[in-house]
Structure 1
């Protein structure tokens, strides 16, 4: 669970959020995109295009060649005593390079986006069709989102506690601007919100779902708007990694010669 503190204008946090989703597509993972701000369809349309270099193509070509040569290898009998031994996999069947580069000036092609299965959750489309509920004693938006994530994990075969017949895959979950007013939460409105525990309760349940499933999750939160520091400490303690993005846009550091080669700070 990666917790990302949004920068003031949300420029770099949105970019990091899209990088996470784009990497999932290139690696062939399934996606679950949730937002109360921007429609998930529009988020996927704005993903950066990957830079698939010659090395990438060569590895894919070598991979295909290795698979193609299996029939030829089967016909080669080194010795009769090896004939009935099980075959060993010479190379992985999927592209396993760790990390890719992206061109933020270009958008990912629709064909590449459609090459993986993805699920969406747009709060304003979900709540009108659902009655107000206080499941897990939290606000209805968070409860509805948890139910949707739980359903996808169970139905799509990501539950690590259940034996699966089909090939395993990874589910990448991206949740945008959690804790904002758009989610029906008031932690950004006052240092003494009426419902100070919904966000932490949501994260407790989400951590439980992630622990027993083949899932990874990134959450962006407008931390600069949350006035209650105790809430922020509880939220960050519930995350595996916390990334803080500080942009120099609109600050005195933007014109400070000491920072002329930098756009902001990356707090880990």
Structure 2
């Protein structure tokens, strides 16, 4: 593992810890996990595959302690996370969930990136949890068998015998999508079972560029052309018949960053102010006339010109913003101790209307556990006097006052979204 990989990996998640944990707490969690996954501590009847998984997990736990157990390396790691990873780790995680859902559903996947090779991103997709699907089928079979056996022995009132049977249970599951285990990576056989197309900007740029002046940069033009050719070749636009009807799922990572030769993150008055928006106009036109769906991540915290960011938001059907607590005062605020950031829904699609809806919901928070990314309603502590110290009570009370209008009336349910 290279030094860059060591810094990019979330070692706090490996130890099932939080960045706010002290060194003593980190040591306790390391010792517990090391004892749990140590190869010599496994049962004799453990399979070879399970032993190999324990060895790999033990190596990760040991590496995490080497980085977080030393004050100097921990300080350097925390600094790198605050500079490079203010929002990107969580948006990157959502992009992986988006792509993983496409793989599980059998969609054709397209991934475009300018920093990390797309193949490495695909290899790091979370593993799906598919145990609940066959179990539901088994349970339904058991219920049907019991019903058939009891039909002969049970008798109902004569007046109801000739009435048609009514289904009392819902036909479809109330669950939306699939669940994933973020601590494991998707199996190679599952990834290779679907078509995957990639676009890596360093490999696509020509050695010598002779591009004519255009409102869209060369990098975005090459990306848009690649997507357009794929849509036409695979028949997603309806011009060519498909062997089996399918959907193209497109994931574009960190558009607008300097790695895409875009300067909207570097200057308040960039020379290519309309490059990203022109690309999104063209992409939107392709999506409207084809069987495609797309997710784009944008480092909005680096874009200094708010007018550009507003135009980018309006060009999307759905726009959400992730506000991370890393490196901010909220990271140590007891009010947010159970969360890693806030999720702001900027706008959602509005059917039969040309204008998107901007919901006024400010009470959503997210947290990244070792195995799942969870979105919940932000609840205030029931009794601030019992949950915080005297020194921080004033800060928490002020935060509670600012948030009470947003989450006091809406946070009425314990239901949350897990991925």
Aligned-pair CA distance for 1:136: 5.8
Residues 149 and 237 (structure 1 numbering): CA distance in 2 closer, same or farther, change over 3 Å?
A: same
Unaligned runs of 5+ in 1: 1-5, 63-96
Correspondences of 1:138-149 after superposition (within 5 Å): 138-149=216-227
**Cα contact 2:215–2:272 (8 A) shared by 1:** no
* Equivalent residue number for residue 178 of structure 1: 255
Correspondences of 1:82-101 after superposition (within 5 Å): 98-101=176-179
**Cα contact 2:87–2:322 (8 A) shared by 1:** no
Moved more, 214-223 or 8-17: 8-17
| Alpha-carbon distance in structure 2 between the residues aligned to 1:133 and 1:60 | 60
Structure with more contact order per residue of length (Cα contacts < 8 Å, sep ≥ 6)? 1
| Alpha-carbon distance in structure 1 between the residues aligned to 2:101 and 2:137 | 18
Correspondences of 1:147-226 after superposition (within 5 Å): 147-160=225-238, 162=239, 164-226=241-303
* Equivalent residue number for residue 247 of structure 1: 324
Moved more, 134-143 or 251-260: 134-143
**Cα contact 1:30–1:118 (8 A) shared by 2:** yes
**Cα contact 1:134–1:143 (8 A) shared by 2:** no
1:38 is aligned to 2:116: yes
| Alpha-carbon distance in structure 2 between the residues aligned to 1:202 and 1:10 | 21
What TM-score does the superposition give when structure 1 sets the normalisation length? Answer: 0.80
* Equivalent residue number for residue 91 of structure 1: none
| Alpha-carbon distance in structure 1 between the residues aligned to 2:112 and 2:208 | 17
| Alpha-carbon distance in structure 1 between the residues aligned to 2:242 and 2:293 | 21
The runs of at least 4 consecutive aligned structure 1 residues that moved more than 3 Å come to: 56-62, 129-132, 134-137
Alignment partner of 1:27 out of 98, 105, 108: 105
Structure whose CA Rg is larger? 2
| Alpha-carbon distance in structure 2 between the residues aligned to 1:197 and 1:59 | 52
Q: What is the CA deviation profile of residues 81-139 of structure 1, one whole-angstrom value per residue up to 9, with x for unaligned ones?
A: xxxxxxxxxxxxxxxx7411111110001111101001000000000367443486311
What TM-score does the superposition give when structure 2 sets the normalisation length? Answer: 0.52
* Equivalent residue number for residue 159 of structure 2: none
| Alpha-carbon distance in structure 1 between the residues aligned to 2:95 and 2:273 | 25
* Equivalent residue number for residue 233 of structure 1: 310
3-state SS, counterpart of residue 262 of structure 1: coil
Aligned-pair CA distance for 1:54: 3.4
3-state SS, counterpart of residue 184 of structure 2: strand
Residues 60 and 175 (structure 1 numbering): CA distance in 2 closer, same or farther, change over 3 Å?
A: farther
1:16 is aligned to 2:89: no
3-state SS, counterpart of residue 38 of structure 1: coil
Aligned-pair CA distance for 1:228: 0.4
**Cα contact 1:7–1:222 (8 A) shared by 2:** no
**Cα contact 1:157–1:164 (8 A) shared by 2:** yes
* Equivalent residue number for residue 55 of structure 1: 133
